[in-house]
Amino acid sequence: MSEKLKLRAESLDDLAVISACLQDALTCVSDMAFVADENRFVVMLSRFMWEAVDPDPEVEGLRIRTGLHFEAVQGVATQGVDQEHRLGLIPLLALTGETDGNGIEVTLEFGGGGRLRVRAERLEAIMTDTGNSWPTPNRPDHKLEQDA
């Protein structure tokens, strides 16, 4: 079993590392919250532990519960994320960020085309693994379709 990860992002390069760690994490709308009075956005995910993956595709992978939160958040907006389907699993594909003179906008890109944008004064994100990992037979697969 791998050690638990705890990562902090204060730059776009740091965010790219967290994005790689969270690729193929699963979450649902009910595990996301904007806590406006604390200027914080939080999300809990089931992270696929890419750092512990066996090269043999027949060997099960591991998942672990992981918290991600952003500080100094000014607002959150979604596009293509069904807010009524609160318990349906949605895969996180990537996190990207863009800065401007007024702060940063981090986009969480989900499978199926959904997006969640976090607008913040600065980039301050913390990812923390919690609890114990568990085996999963469902290893994410990113094979590209072959042209017919």
Instruction: Give the chain's mean pLDDT.
Output: 91
Mean per-residue pLDDT for 50-70? 90
Q: What share of the chain is helix, strand, coil (3-state, %, to 5)?
A: 15, 50, 35
Give the predicted TM-score (pTM) of the model.
Answer: 0.89
The three-class DSSP label of residue 65 is: strand
Alpha carbon distance 111, 78 (integer Å): 14
Query: pLDDT confidence of 42, banded at 50, 70, 90?
Result: very high
Tell how far CA 88 is from the center of its chain.
16
Alpha carbon distance 17, 8 (integer Å): 9
Q: Examine the pLDDT at 148 and tell me if it is beyond 60.
A: no
Whole-number percent of the chain with pLDDT over 90: 73
Mean per-residue pLDDT for 41-52? 95
Q: From residue 112, give the alpha-carbon distance in Å to each of 75, 100, 124, 142.
A: 23, 28, 27, 14
